[in-house]
A and B are shown apart, each in its own frame.
Chain A
Amino acid sequence: MYQARIRLNALCAFLLLMVACSGEPQQSVDAGALSEKLTGQLVLTGSSTVAPLIGEIAKRFEQTHPGTRVDVQTGGSSRGVADARRGSADIGMVSRALNADEGDLTAYPIARDGVAMILHRDNPLSVLSEEQIVAIYTGQVRNWREIGGADAPITVVNKAEGRSTLELFLGYFKLRNEDIKPSIIIGDNQQGIRTVAADPNAIGYVSIGTATYEASRGTAIKALSMRGIEASLENVRNGSFPLSRPLHLVTLGSADQASALARAFIDYAASAEVNDLTEAQYFVPLTH
């Protein structure tokens, strides 16, 4: 049963690939012949945000395409760009939009990453400006009263070093981790939710997927709108939520210069087949 499903998936992927590459949808193909075609090794390097997700996708890809090997290494988005240019990686992983001087690369979006600022549900404030958030996190504002809230010290909840949510938060507000004056440092999103839900004076940030899920289940938190845009999965998906970023795979040259194997992997990584993996990493899939 499982085997059969894998075959079917593989067949679908190949068909899609053939359609995309050849432009001859009526071409009839034999799955056996194709699986011989898709063999070899892919090397992906780059963003440590994207790498854990791609690692999971690669495992599933190798299962559905026996004979392929996908090697995933981290090192930051800049390494992903550099390695794709140099050819030392087939595909680069980049957790941002491509810059103007990176036109020699083709970027394929595979998912989006979004962060929501969260407060306790009972906090009277429900809007914070970006300046206020920066002031709170850098320790210039230490009491909610100073920005119109209750007379209570602010519990500033920050993420531990290396987390992608921290990176996105710091990048968006143009802060350095050294500048932040946290009251509590937490690890994963769940701990962030529990910590803020247990403290009416806390402010924190977690991935939007976790925040909306928990808020909908009645956990005592609320996610803040940013620049008037509601923190929702839909607004992350369509790119309008400010505190979000695209996760990209990049290859050198135009799309048809990429190898068949690389194209197949990129299509697979952007397909709805891996939505469960994307959501498990608290990212937002692009397709329903």
Chain B
Amino acid sequence: MSPSRTDLPLLWALRALAALAGTITLLIAAFLILEAWPALQTPGLSHFLTDASWFPASTTPQFNLVPMVAGTLAATLGAMLLATPLGIAAALFSRFYAPPAIATWFRCLLELLAGIPSVVYGFWGLVVLTPLIRQWAPPWQSPLAAILILSLMILPTIALLSETALRSVPRAYLQGAAALGLSRWATITGVALPAAHCGIMSSILLAAGRAIGETMAVLMVAGNIVKVPDSLFAPVRTLTANIALELGYALDGHRAALFVSGLILLALIVLLVSMSEWIMRDDPAAAPNGAAETSTQVRGLQHG
């Protein structure tokens, strides 16, 4: 397997670029830890979990981040619950039910949806969606609005990547199912979905990553009150919104506390990536299917 001589420059160029990408990631993590370090020393990590509330710039500062972790998780989980079935259904429709011409148009629309900048979603949410919610259940800026907006944003990620995974199920599998006389629905549930489940799972986890990291759209519709969410209608603040709202004006201890928010966010993403890696390893047979194509599509979807 040793590379041929003509490959060597390319190989080293790729190694260098990979090393660069890896180094940058590590440097970002190191920077976060460095900036958060003063806050982890004083007041100390326990304050971020046990303080009464979040008033970092007060004369008696309070640093409780738990409500914001809960807010982030609630908004993300809610959006996943809504977007996952819709996204998979959209993928199944596009792959197995839609006539080819419609399927092409449908995919184009989904790609368009994926390409809309998040601040546009946020603005639309603020001026159109939240007033609608307000007529129904004030106060109107709420986790419900955040969940709806986030679902809309991650739906195309799930739909497009799942569709790719379904498309890369070997033709022989489907022909085999047809030869056995299985109905279309039985082919989907018995053959296509099991064969593509790894690609679909990774699409869901990628979408979760986007939902956790989403800032502007959530900031504009979620209400940003620091409180553990106890209903769909009580405003919440997410970790990302917390950083975006306060970092521009934060000094010293307050600033360091915001970097602790960033650190927690990073930890959540690391957890998510490890989960997706674990799922990939769990099913080596299915892994080659979606993986290569998925990663090329991801690039196209991540710019929002």
Binding site for B on A (CB under 8 A): 48, 74-75, 153, 155, 160-164, 176-178, 182-187, 191, 194-195, 198-199, 201
State whether A162 touches B248 (Cβ < 8 A).
yes
When C-beta atoms are compared, the residue in chain A nearest to B249 turns out to be A162
State whether B235 touches A183 (Cβ < 8 A).
yes
| The one of A153, A176, A191, A199 that contacts B58, using a Cβ cutoff of 8 Å | A176
Instruction: Give the 5 A-B residue pairs with the shortest CB-CB distance, closest first.
Output: A162-B249, A160-B245, A185-B224, A184-B223, A187-B245
B194: Cβ under 8 A from any A Cβ: no
State whether B237 touches A185 (Cβ < 8 A).
yes
Chain B interface residue count, Cβ-Cβ cutoff 8 angstroms: 31
> Bound complex: CA of A186 vs CA of B226, how far in Å?
12
Given contacts A48-B249, A182-B225, A183-B225, contact A161 B141 (CB under 8 A): no
Chain A residue numbers with a CB within 8 Å of B267 are none
Chain B residue numbers with a CB within 8 Å of A184 are 139, 141, 223-225, 235
| The one of B56, B127, B235 that contacts A198, using a Cβ cutoff of 8 Å | B127
Besides A163-B249, A187-B219, A195-B126, 15 other A-B contacts (C-beta < 8 A): A48-B251, A153-B139, A161-B249, A161-B254, A162-B254, A176-B58, A178-B53, A178-B55, A178-B58, A184-B141, A185-B226, A191-B220, A194-B123, A198-B127, A199-B131
Chain B residue numbers with a CB within 8 Å of A183 are 139, 141, 223, 225, 235
State whether A177 touches B138 (Cβ < 8 A).
no
B169: Cβ under 8 A from any A Cβ: no
State whether A198 touches B246 (Cβ < 8 A).
no
> Bound complex: CA of A179 vs CA of B165, how far in Å?
53
State whether A155 touches B251 (Cβ < 8 A).
no
> Bound complex: CA of A185 vs CA of B238, how far in Å?
12
> Bound complex: CA of A183 vs CA of B250, how far in Å?
23
> Bound complex: CA of A275 vs CA of B128, how far in Å?
36
State whether A185 touches B139 (Cβ < 8 A).
no
Chain B residue numbers with a CB within 8 Å of A177 are 55, 57-58
State whether B131 touches A198 (Cβ < 8 A).
yes
> Bound complex: CA of A121 vs CA of B22, how far in Å?
53
User: How many whole Å from B132's CB to the nearest CB in chain A?
Assistant: 10
**Interface positions of B from 50 to 75, Cβ below 8 Å from A:** 53, 55-58
B134: Cβ under 8 A from any A Cβ: yes
State whether B220 touches A198 (Cβ < 8 A).
no
User: How many whole Å from A118's CB to the nearest CB in chain B?
Assistant: 16
Chain A residue numbers with a CB within 8 Å of B123 are 194
**Subset of 6 A-B contacts with CB under 8 Å:** A155-B140, A162-B250, A185-B223, A186-B224, A187-B224, A194-B126
> Bound complex: CA of A201 vs CA of B131, how far in Å?
11
> Bound complex: CA of A194 vs CA of B246, how far in Å?
19
State whether B245 touches A185 (Cβ < 8 A).
yes
State whether B246 touches A160 (Cβ < 8 A).
yes
> Bound complex: CA of A191 vs CA of B216, how far in Å?
11
B130: Cβ under 8 A from any A Cβ: yes
B14: Cβ under 8 A from any A Cβ: no
B116: Cβ under 8 A from any A Cβ: no
User: How many whole Å from A125's CB to the nearest CB in chain B?
Assistant: 18
When C-beta atoms are compared, the residue in chain A nearest to B60 turns out to be A178
- Interface hub of A48, A161, A176 (most chain B Cβ within 10 A): A161
State whether A161 touches B248 (Cβ < 8 A).
no
> Bound complex: CA of A178 vs CA of B138, how far in Å?
23
B20: Cβ under 8 A from any A Cβ: no
Given contacts A184-B224, A186-B224, contact A161 B56 (CB under 8 A): yes
> Bound complex: CA of A116 vs CA of B250, how far in Å?
23
> Bound complex: CA of A177 vs CA of B246, how far in Å?
14
State whether A201 touches B138 (Cβ < 8 A).
yes
> Bound complex: CA of A198 vs CA of B250, how far in Å?
29
When C-beta atoms are compared, the residue in chain B nearest to A197 turns out to be B127
> Bound complex: CA of A177 vs CA of B59, how far in Å?
10
Given contacts A176-B58, A183-B139, contact A160 B127 (CB under 8 A): no
B186: Cβ under 8 A from any A Cβ: no
State whether A199 touches B140 (Cβ < 8 A).
yes
**Interface positions of B from 218 to 262, Cβ below 8 Å from A:** 219-220, 223-226, 235, 237, 244-246, 248-251, 254
Chain B residue numbers with a CB within 8 Å of A162 are 57, 246, 248-251, 254
> Bound complex: CA of A186 vs CA of B235, how far in Å?
12
> Bound complex: CA of A74 vs CA of B255, how far in Å?
13
Given contacts A153-B139, A160-B245, A184-B223, contact A74 B126 (CB under 8 A): no
Chain B residue numbers with a CB within 8 Å of A199 are 131, 134, 140
- Interface hub of B131, B246, B249, B250 (most chain A Cβ within 10 A): B249
